[in-house]
Amino acid sequence: MLLFMLNRPFAALLFAAFLIPASALAAPTLIAPERRMVAAVEAGDARDLVLLERLVNQNSGSRNIAGVKAVAALVRPEFEALGFTVKWLPMEQTGRAGHLVATHTGKPGAKRLLLIGHLDTVFEADSPFQTFTRKGDFASGPGVADNKGGVVAMLAALRAMAAAGTLKQANIVAYLTGDEEDAGDPQSAARADLISAGKAADVALDFEGLARDVGPDGKLVDMGSIARRSAYSWNIQVSAKSGHSSGVFGADGDGAIYALARILAAIRAEVPEPNLTLNVGMIAGGAEAALAADQAHVSAAGKTNIIPALAIARGDLRTLSPEQNTRAQQRMAAIAARAYPGATASITFEDGYPPMAPTEGNRALLARLNDVNAALGLPAMAPLDPLKRGAGDISFVAADLPGLVGLGPASKGDHTPDETVDLLSLRLQAKRAALLMSRLAAEKR
């Protein structure tokens, strides 16, 4: 009845309003400071690329202590110019250079953000792959994406926040490890400070690379990473009664190699479950067998007419949750403890990178990032299959706070001489990070 009481033009407009989807009526938009952040990232693009080239051209293989320190020296003034207090945590006692920790103190009672990245790369000083090369919207070089591109994206986002005035009130710790690609030993010492930083923070944001996957239309789409699997190692050693090969299968038993083969076959058949993988990386057996001190080489000696007395295997175990990891290790240990003709086996497990489970807190953070995507006019990012993401430093704090992975740029060929970063994605990721961090930092704890 109300429409009949209104003039026709206004009635028509009102009726049309009811036909507009609610999502369109409430379409997210950027507020003024956020528009300034977007503009600041655009304006700083040339500066970011200069910094990226400088970082890439300085070798910082995990074992190149001087090189990692040199990259830290390049990054340090970038943080200090933004008002961060920077300290260096030396880690020579673990065989690595150390970690750079930059702290910005903002408004009391506001959320505390932990930003995670790393200074090192997989390319050591003797690698032939050493130089930054740009080709249009792409660039290649050692660590150009993993993780020097991520560090540049982090700094670009922080500079954008400073330009918009949102950094002033933000409580942020940027933690850049110097040994993410090859953690120092003991790991408990190498990651103790990072774990402490996680316990003191409210949110963790990891600036490793943006994941992309094939969408329904066959094109690559940006994905949100809310989980990472673990990376643990295991060793199996089998000892058996030796003797002349004519006695095999008899009183002398089957020998160490047959026993190890049965153990590995049983592990393959009985342990795997969704989101869990096992890999046998090395195997050796004979009258003699040994695993080298570097745990990257095995050796064996024997003859065809001698029942092998020793057999060893080394591999990895990747799981999505601590519970899954415990379950897998228990199953593997039970298999190794079974009776094998003439042989006994032992299995040991080594700590590595723990899992980052896909918690509700992580999902909520991805929802916040998708709010940012909506405001930027970008499609929502679906969660990435954790099987498509390797282990990383954020996993050490994942049990203590919600986290999100993949705020660095997209790339291909990581860990190979074909490592190439998408430079347009670096700019995009800096915008996403600046808006997300500003929104989170404005909230109460």
Residue type, 196: S
Assigned token pair, 250: 């008899």
- pLDDT tens digits, one per residue of 68-101: 999 999 999 999 999 999 999 999 999 999 999 9
Domain residue spans of the chain: 32-228+356-441, 231-353
**Mean pLDDT of the region 417-426:** 98
Q: How many CB atoms lie under 10 A from the CB of residue 390?
A: 13
* pLDDT computed for residue 144 by the predictor: 98
Helix (H, G, I), strand (E, B) or coil at 11: helix
- Specify the pairing of strand 112-118 against strand 133-135: unpaired
Lowest mean pLDDT among 109-118, 189-198, 267-276, 385-394: 385-394
* pLDDT computed for residue 390 by the predictor: 82
Lowest mean pLDDT among 120-129, 162-171, 385-394: 385-394
Helix (H) or strand (E) holding 222: strand 220-224
Q: How many CB atoms lie under 10 A from the CB of residue 203?
A: 21
Residue type, 406: G
- Are 426 and 48 in contact, with CB atoms under 8 Å apart? yes
Q: How many secondary structure helices (H) and strands (E) does the chain include?
A: 12, 19
| Burial of residue 225, with CB atoms counted within 10 A of its CB: 0-12 exposed, 13-18 middle, 19 or more buried | buried
- Are 207 and 146 in contact, with CB atoms under 8 Å apart? no
* pLDDT computed for residue 214 by the predictor: 92
- Are 309 and 241 in contact, with CB atoms under 8 Å apart? yes
pLDDT grade for 27, boundaries at 50, 70 and 90:
low
User: DSSP letter at 18?
Assistant: H
Tell me whether the omega of the peptide bond preceding residue 21 falls within 30 degrees of 0, making it cis.
no
- pLDDT tens digits, one per residue of 359-383: 999 999 999 999 999 999 999 999 9
Q: What percent of the chain has pLDDT over 90?
A: 89
Give the integer Cα–Cα distance in Å for 31 and 437. 15
Give the integer Cα–Cα distance in Å for 326 and 331. 9
Sign of torsion over alpha carbons 429, 76, 394, 128: positive
Q: Is the model's pTM score more than 0.85?
A: yes
Assigned token pair, 220: 């690559």
- Specify the pairing of strand 203-206 against strand 112-118: parallel
Sign of torsion over alpha carbons 243, 247, 253, 254: positive
- pLDDT tens digits, one per residue of 184-224: 999 999 999 999 999 999 999 999 999 999 988 899 999 99
User: DSSP letter at 379?
Assistant: P
78 φ/ψ angles, rounded to the nearest 5 degrees: -65, -40
pLDDT value at 151 more than 80: yes
* pLDDT computed for residue 294 by the predictor: 84
Say which residues have a Cβ less than 8 Å from residue 82's Cβ, sequence separation at least 6.
104, 158, 159, 162, 167
* pLDDT computed for residue 216 by the predictor: 87
- pLDDT tens digits, one per residue of 53-71: 999 999 999 999 999 999 9
Give the integer Cα–Cα distance in Å for 118 and 73. 13
- pLDDT tens digits, one per residue of 230-287: 999 999 999 999 999 999 999 989 999 999 999 999 999 999 999 999 999 999 999 9
pLDDT value at 181 more than 90: yes
- pLDDT tens digits, one per residue of 133-148: 999 999 999 999 999 9
* pLDDT computed for residue 243 by the predictor: 94
- CATH fold match for the domains 32-228+356-441 and 231-353: no
* pLDDT computed for residue 391 by the predictor: 86
Whole-number mean pLDDT of the chain?
93
Query: Residue 442's closest CA among 198, 161, 103?
Result: 161
**Mean pLDDT of the region 325-332:** 97
**Residue 237: strand pairing partners:** 312, 346
- Are 142 and 56 in contact, with CB atoms under 8 Å apart? yes
Assigned token pair, 398: 């994942």
Which residue shows structure tokens 């049309």?
16
CA distances from 144 to 41, 70, 153, 175, 319 (A): 19, 16, 11, 19, 28
* pLDDT computed for residue 26 by the predictor: 52
**Mean pLDDT of the region 403-428:** 97
Assigned token pair, 380: 């929502």
* pLDDT computed for residue 7 by the predictor: 42
Rama region for 165: left / alpha / beta (φ>0; ψ in -120 to 50; rest)? left
* pLDDT computed for residue 295 by the predictor: 86
Give the integer Cα–Cα distance in Å for 65 and 122. 13
Task: Please give the CATH topology (third level) of the domain spanning 32-228+356-441.
Answer: Aminopeptidase (3.40.630)
- Are 229 and 334 in contact, with CB atoms under 8 Å apart? no
* pLDDT computed for residue 12 by the predictor: 42
pLDDT grade for 10, boundaries at 50, 70 and 90:
very low
CATH 3.30.70.360 fits 231-353, yes or no: yes
CA distances from 240 to 243, 284, 289, 302, 333 (A): 10, 14, 12, 14, 18
pLDDT value at 20 more than 90: no
